[in-house]
Every structure is written in structure tokens, then in C-alpha cells.
């Protein structure tokens, strides 16, 4: 059974006719070419596919397309096009947060989501904020440092 589902994707109104029980993850990757949305565990545990749904971080591997009807979605593509998102991406690059890179789009979304709510996070806040994003390369330390860097550099951005 197909249905036409409309939502806002990275600020643009879009619609798609597809099985509303398709995973939003597949729809974003296959139909909209959002390949920054990575598939890791497929069960909401690794955070690689993290996106923002109405401003809240969620994992689209757990969300059926139909649940996005009329909602607002931001992927890492949309986030990194904002000044705040760009600040996170630059801080990750400069801070050496990236090794293999597979977890990074999800980490960027988590960092953005955290700093939007809490522009001046402690180490614990940061570790809690990325606690649902698994990284098997870095040991997390440089990711945490890079998020602190993003908080420092973007002080005026985040507090807006």
C-alpha cells in the first residue's frame, strides 16, 4: 500500500509516494540522496543515522515514513549548511575528531543538537549528549575535545 507523505526536509517542502511503513532511513538515503544518514546497527543503538525530527534528535531506522507526515526533518546535510552546523564540522576537522568517519555525521547531529540546547556544556554533558553515538575508532576523547572547541569558537552563534 502506497501513500503520499509530505514533510519539510532541510527547510524544503517535499513529498513522496511510498509504503508509509518504509523506514525513514531508507527513504532519506534512496529517494532523497541523503547519504550522510548512515546505517549502522539498524536498531536505534549506534546513532549513525541520527537526524533531527522537529528539532529533536532521533534515529530514522526506527521511524516509519508515515510518522514524518507533516513534520520537519533536518539531516546532517541541512545542518552543516547552517552557520552552527558548519562550526561543528570545522571543529571536528581541526580537532582531529575523525578517523574512519562512519560515525561522524551522527556525531555532528548529536553535537549540534547538544550545543543548541546547552551552549556551554561540561565534559559530562558532552559525553551524555553523544552517549547514543558509537565510535569504534577514536575512543571519543578527540570528539569530546572538538565539541568543546565548537562551543568555544561558536560562542555567539549558539547563544543566539
Is 141 a binding residue for other proteins by CB under 8 A? The answer is no
Location of C-alpha cell 555525521:
105
State how far the Cα of 14 lies from the Cα of 32, in Å rounded to an integer: 9
Is 135 a binding residue for other proteins by CB under 8 A? The answer is no
Strand 72-74, strand 56-58: pairing: unpaired
State how far the Cα of 50 lies from the Cα of 103, in Å rounded to an integer: 10
Contact letters for other proteins, residues 88-107 (x by CB under 8 A): --------------------
Contact letters for other proteins, residues 49-88 (x by CB under 8 A): -x--x--xxxx-xxxx-xx-xxx-----------------
Angle value at C-alpha 5, between 111 and 43, nearest 5 degrees: 45
Q: Which residues bind other proteins (CB under 8 A)?
A: 1, 3, 19-23, 26, 30, 39, 42-45, 47, 50, 53, 56-59, 61-64, 66-67, 69-71, 110, 113, 122, 124-125, 128-129, 131-133
Amino acid at each position: 500500500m502506497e501513500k503520499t507523505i509530505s514533510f519539510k526536509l532541510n527547510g524544503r517542502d517535499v513529498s513522496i509516494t511510498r509504503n508509509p511503513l518504509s523506514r525513514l532511513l531508507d527513504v532519506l538515503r534512496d529517494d532523497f540522496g541523503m547519504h550522510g544518514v548512515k546505517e549502522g546497527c539498524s536498531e536505534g543503538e549506534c546513532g549513525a543515522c541520527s537526524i533531527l525530527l522537529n528539532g529533536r534528535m532521533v534515529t530514522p531506522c526506527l521511524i516509519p515514513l508515515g510518522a514524518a507526515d507533516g513534520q520537519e526533518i533536518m539531516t546532517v546535510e541541512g545542518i552543516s549548511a547552517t552557520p552552527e552546523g558548519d562550526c561543528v564540522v570545522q571543529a571536528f576537522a581541526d580537532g582531529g575528531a575523525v578517523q574512519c568517519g562512519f560515525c561522524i555525521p551522527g556525531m555532528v547531529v548529536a553535537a549540534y543538537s547538544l550545543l543548541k540546547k546547552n551552549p556551554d556544556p561540561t565534559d559530562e554533558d558532552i559525553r551524555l549528549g553523544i552517549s547514543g553515538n558509537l565510535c569504534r575508532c577514536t575512543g571519543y576523547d578527540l570528539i569530546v575535545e572538538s565539541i568543546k572547541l565548537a562551543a568555544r569558537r561558536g560562542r555567539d552563534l549558539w547563544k543566539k
